[in-house]
Amino acid sequence: MTKVQTSLRLDADKLSEAKEILKSLGLNFTDAVNIFTNMVVANKGLPFDVKLPTKEFKKSIDELENKKGKSFKDVDELFKDLDN
């Protein structure tokens, strides 16, 4: 298999954060890009869904960002609320 070198333009902060996460997984950035590339080939497309968020999803994200959603002190309280 022939290897080629390429270059990418990435946000410096995101790249640094990604490298730290990958390091904790035992991977380097090149390994991750190779895995992604192999998955694109295997899936004949992106290895995840790419679609526009629904109105409900946007509303949920807005609630989370603005701390408008419900919060619970523990899992039991959450399940009690779900039962009601």
Q: How far apart are CA 73 and CA 34, in angstroms?
A: 42
Same-domain check for residues 2 and 37: yes
The yes-or-no verdict on residue 20 having pLDDT over 90 is: yes
Q: What is the largest CA-CA distance in the chain?
A: 60
Same-domain check for residues 16 and 33: yes
Same-domain check for residues 32 and 1: yes
Please tell me the predicted confidence (pLDDT) of residue 68: 86
Please tell me the predicted confidence (pLDDT) of residue 1: 84
Q: What is the mean pLDDT of residues 1-11?
A: 94
**Residue 63, helix vs strand vs coil:** helix
Q: Which domain holds residue 28?
A: 1-50
Taken as a whole, the chain contains a residue count of 84
Same-domain check for residues 2 and 28: yes
**Residue 38, helix vs strand vs coil:** helix
Q: Looking at this protein, which amino acid is placed at residue 50?
A: V
Q: Give 83's pLDDT tier (boundaries 50, 70, 90).
A: very high
Segment 27-62, tens digit of pLDDT: 999 999 999 999 999 999 999 998 999 999 999 999
Q: How far apart are CA 47 and CA 56, in angstroms?
A: 24
Same-domain check for residues 33 and 67: no
The count of domains in the chain is: 2
